[in-house]
Amino acid sequence: MIIADTNVVSELFRAPADERVLAWLDANPTVGTTAITVGEVWAGIEQLPEGRRKTGFVEVAEDVFHEFFGDITEYGAEAARLYGRITAECRVLGRPISQGDAHIAAICLAEDAVLATRNVKVFTDLGLEIVNPWEW
């Protein structure tokens, strides 16, 4: 299983999206994402003022989550336990990690999933297998 980080999903909101990411997604049609990423995307959209731009992003989000990332992995008890370990380890190492990134990493570990992200450095040494679609 491959799980797309928020930056991979967000790339599809760009006009035009990076061709490398599109090619990677075409080659990996079963890529999913997490409920955390869905929340991050919708939070960004909901902060926009009402208008055509926001309406356009809502339409894109509905299409993106339906067409590209139909498999949305939920946050469960095992991921919550792993989140605690990840945040504690990062704190001890003096390596900051956002709550969202720690949650996404924990879901990937709990599901034994590969993480697709551009932010390789953030997730290095957490025990994850990582792929960077921008370098594919």
Q: How high is the pLDDT of residue 29?
A: 86
Q: Does domain 2-135 have CATH number 3.40.50.1010?
A: yes
Q: Which amino acid type is present at position 80? A: A
**E strands in the chain:** 2-4, 32-34, 72-73, 114-116, 130-131
Q: How high is the pLDDT of residue 74?
A: 94
Q: How high is the pLDDT of residue 117?
A: 98
Q: How high is the pLDDT of residue 28?
A: 92
Q: List per-block mean pLDDT (blocks of 10 residues) for the chain, which spans 136 residues.
A: 96 95 94 96 97 96 86 95 97 94 98 97 94 95
Domain ranges of the chain: 2-135
pLDDT tens profile 25-42: 999 988 999 999 999 999
Q: What is the pTM of this model?
A: 0.93
125 is in an annotated binding site: no
Q: How high is the pLDDT of residue 70?
A: 76
